[in-house]
Every structure is written in structure tokens, then in C-alpha cells.
């Protein structure tokens, strides 16, 4: 969790750069946000600005109603999505929205990604649902995402892309990465045979192991 605006700006900036370097988005697409604990504010990436021209201090700060508080640029056009997730999930402190290719392909056929492989189960919690289609940036899209994601950590946006959430922004980035990889594996597996889906019992053992052990190492320095 991020106590101050500066801490949240640093985390959002670093994860936005990770997102771009990992090719989860092209150009200025995709967006990232973090909750600022002390003031109940949100740091979010700006609208339409190339990330390589940004410094952490440039990142806009908004309140929970979406009003601009500070920062050189205007908040992302998807700010409603970020606000809705952070409002409805007190366990979540970081949100990342991407247009990665394989996850987007499943969003186009509007089919969930089942729990198929270890890292996506541990980090993203397994099953990845699909939120209904609404226009980008709309409040209906934000509402649909909150309804669809329930207690999961990732959700496909129909004909649009993916949203990953986490206890830190870095964790939200990892969710985006492992779900993209799982979508790629699932796509290949379906083209060469019949994929086997792991059962709920094994999924919950793997997820609990991650939450109770591995993730504690990751949270150091970010909490
Ligand atoms: Zn988008």
C-alpha cells in the first residue's frame, strides 16, 4: 500500500514503464493507477501522453469522484474503471489495464480463461471472467467490470482488453503478464488438442500458497 502521493507516483510510473517494455500495450494505450492511503486519492497515468516523456511527479492525482487534484496532465480516459475497482475492492491498491494480444483475442470471442497453468493460478487467482461490452471510458464499462471481477484479480473486457488488480501496482502488472501468457498457452493448447482444466481444490491450494508465502517477499519495500 502507498501512504503518500510520491510513493504512489513512483510505483505507478515504474509499473507503467514495465507495461510498455513488456509490450502489453502499444504507444500510449493502457493505463495504471494506485491508491494513496493517507488522503483517499488515486494516482493514475495521464490521457494520451507518451510514457517516455513522463516523470513520476507529472502523474495526475484525482479524488474518488474523479476530480483533478494535482499533476501536470489530465487523468486517463479510463479513470472511471480505476475508481470503481479501487472503491469496491479495499484489498486492492493497484490497477493495470492493458490491450495485450492473446488476452484481447479471448475478449473478442468473449470466453473466460480457465485455470490451466501454475503461475496464473498463483498470481491471478485462476479463473479469468469476461465483463460485458460497453464503450471505452464509460461508467457502464466500469460498473460491468466490478460486477464481473467479483473477488478475482483479473477480468477480460469484451472486444477491448484486460484489467489486472493487486495488493500493489507491481502485483497488478504481474497479473497482466501471467494472464497474457496463460491466454497464449490456452490458445496454442486448443489448436493442438483438448486442454485439461485444473480443479478447484488444486487451484485453491496453489493460490493460498502464493498468498501466504511467496507474495510476502514481493510485498517488501512496497508495503
Ligand atoms: Zn483500453
Residue 223 pLDDT greater than 50, yes or no: no
Which of 78, 171, 180, 222 is catalytic? The answer is 78
Three cell numbers, residue 115: 485455470
Distance between Cα 146 and ligand 1 center (Å): 16
Does an H or E element contain 107, and which? helix 101-109
| pLDDT tens profile 111-151 | 999 999 999 999 999 999 999 999 999 999 999 999 999 98
Residue 175: name the closest of 104, 129, 122, 216 by CA. 122
Question: What single-letter DSSP state applies at residue 210?
Answer: I
Task: Please report the domains of the chain, with CATH numbers, ordered by start residue.
Answer: 5-219 (3.40.225.10)
78 is catalytic: yes
Distance from the CA of 194 to the center of ligand 1, in angstroms? 31
DSSP 93: -
Q: From the CB of residue 41, how many other CB atoms can be counted at a distance below 10 Å?
A: 21
77 CA to centre of ligand 1 in angstroms = 9
Mean pLDDT of 53-80: 94
Q: Which tens digits make up the pLDDT trace of 154-207? A: 999 999 999 999 999 999 999 999 999 999 999 999 999 999 999 999 999 999
Tell how far the Cα of 1 is from the centroid of ligand 1, in angstroms.
25
SS3 (DSSP) at 126: coil
Mean pLDDT of the chain: 93
Cell of 203: 487451484
CA–centroid distance, 85 to ligand 1, in Å, is 15
What pLDDT does 57 receive?
94
Query: Is 6:14 a contact under the CB 8 Å cutoff?
Result: no
Q: Could you give the 3-state DSSP secondary structure of residue 201?
A: helix
> How far is the CA of 96 from the CAs of 9, 12, 122, 188, 189, in angstroms?
14, 9, 18, 25, 27
Amino acid at each position: 500500500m502507498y501512504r503518500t502521493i510520491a510513493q504512489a507516483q513512483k510505483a505507478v510510473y515504474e509499473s507503467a514503464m514495465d507495461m510498455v517494455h513488456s509490450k502489453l500495450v502499444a504507444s500510449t494505450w493502457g493505463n495504471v493507477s494506485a491508491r494513496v492511503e493517507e488522503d483517499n486519492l488515486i494516482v493514475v497515468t495521464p490521457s494520451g501522453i507518451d510514457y517516455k516523456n513522463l516523470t513520476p511527479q507529472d502523474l495526475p492525482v484525482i479524488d474518488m469522484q474523479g476530480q483533478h487534484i494535482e499533476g501536470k496532465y489530465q487523468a486517463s480516459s479510463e479513470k472511471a474503471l480505476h475508481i470503481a475497482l479501487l472503491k469496491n475492492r479495499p484489498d486492492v491498491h493497484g490497477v493495470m489495464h492493458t490491450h495485450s494480444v492473446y488476452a484481447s483475442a479471448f475478449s473478442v470471442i468473449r470466453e473466460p480463461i480457465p485455470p490451466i497453468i501454475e503461475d496464473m493460478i498463483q498470481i491471478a487467482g485462476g479463473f479469468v471472467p469476461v465483463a460485458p461490452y460497453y464503450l471505452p471510458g464509460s461508467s457502464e464499462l466500469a460498473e460491468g467490470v466490478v460486477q464481473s471481477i467479483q473477488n478475482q484479480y483479473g477480468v477480460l473486457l469484451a472486444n477491448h482488453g484486460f484489467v489486472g488488480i493487486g495488493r500493489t501496482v507491481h502485483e497488478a502488472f504481474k497479473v497482466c503478464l501471467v494472464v497474457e501468457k496463460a491466454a497464449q498457452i490456452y490458445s496454442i493448447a486448443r489448436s493442438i488438442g483438448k486442454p485439461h482444466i485444473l480443479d478447484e481444490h488444486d487451484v485453491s491450494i496453489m493460490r493460498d500458497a502464493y498468498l501466504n508465502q511467496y507474495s510476502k517477499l514481493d510485498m517488501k519495500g512496497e508495503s
